[in-house]
Amino acid sequence: MLPRGRSTVDFDAGFPYYFGGRITVGAGRIPNLAGFDATVAVRTMFARTELGLGARMTVVDNNPFSAAAFTNIWWGSKLLDDSKRNGVTWDVGGAISLSALSHVTITGKAFAELWSDRFCPALDSTMPNGFEGSDPIKVCVDAQNNRLSATEMSVIRKTFGRDAVPTDLFNRQNGARFLISMSGEIAFDQYWNFYFILEGAPFQQDERALFTSLFSAPMPDNDPRVYGRIGLTYKF
């Protein structure tokens, strides 16, 4: 928990979001109850750039142990084309932290992630290309013309559901997963910390279509369901 008026700035790189930045501000404390932090963030995977707002409520702060509840909501789209791709993601869960030697903090999180993604523009027979948008991605054109390959349909059924059909691509995809993460933060200066985050979806949960190359070109062919980031924090 940050004291009221204190702030941190984070910069990180990793996967599936290749670059990100975040500003966190201490929002105050209810005496003998909870403390609050507020966050504004941005992250990009190139196929989508997202803006996020977050809040954290610290319910236990008894050094070296602390516990908090948190939530983050993200919205983003593809910035430089008219593919109509966009989506919203909502994370909500809890975190516990343990500090050691005044320089190292280990944090574990468990949270639910809910999303609603759109990958293809709506069909519009009045437009020359048959789409509402002027720049649909290849899989949308293939679905419109009934030219999806067996490999493409395999990915669609892994991410949209085993009963998915080509026309499902023109609807929003809604989903949810449970994720866990472990992070470490090391203070190496009065103002600077180094951190790493490793998170994933346990128990062989479904892949997320957003994290596959069929829908987001910079991604791998399959969603590995294990993600990581490294970064720096500046405190002021």
Divide the 236 residues of the chain into consecutive groups of 10 and give the mean pLDDT of each group: 77 98 86 83 97 94 90 94 94 95 90 97 86 90 92 93 91 96 93 96 93 94 96 94
pLDDT value, residue 236: 87
Distance CA 134, CA 126 (A): 12
Q: Does residue 2 form part of some domain?
A: no
Q: Does residue 188 form part of some domain?
A: yes
The reported pTM is 0.90
pLDDT value, residue 12: 98
pLDDT value, residue 4: 66
pLDDT value, residue 207: 93
Amino acid (one-letter) located at 124: D
pLDDT value, residue 3: 59
Q: Does residue 1 form part of some domain?
A: no
pLDDT value, residue 172: 95
pLDDT value, residue 190: 86
Domain span holding position 206: 7-235
Residues 6+ apart with CB under 8 A from 34: 57, 58, 59
Q: Does residue 46 form part of some domain?
A: yes
Q: Does residue 109 form part of some domain?
A: yes
Q: Does residue 112 form part of some domain?
A: yes
Place of tokens 């791998």: 220
Q: Does residue 110 form part of some domain?
A: yes
What is the number of domains present in the chain?
Answer: 1
| CATH number of 159's domain | 2.40.160
Distance CA 2, CA 178 (A): 27
**For residues 160-181, b (16+ Cβ closer than 10 Å) or e, as one string?**
beeebebebbbeebebebebeb
Distance CA 31, CA 8 (A): 23
Tokens of 225: 């369901």
Q: Does residue 160 form part of some domain?
A: yes
Distance CA 114, CA 26 (A): 26
Count CB-CB contacts under 10 A for residue 204: 7
pLDDT value, residue 1: 57
Distance CA 172, CA 165 (A): 13
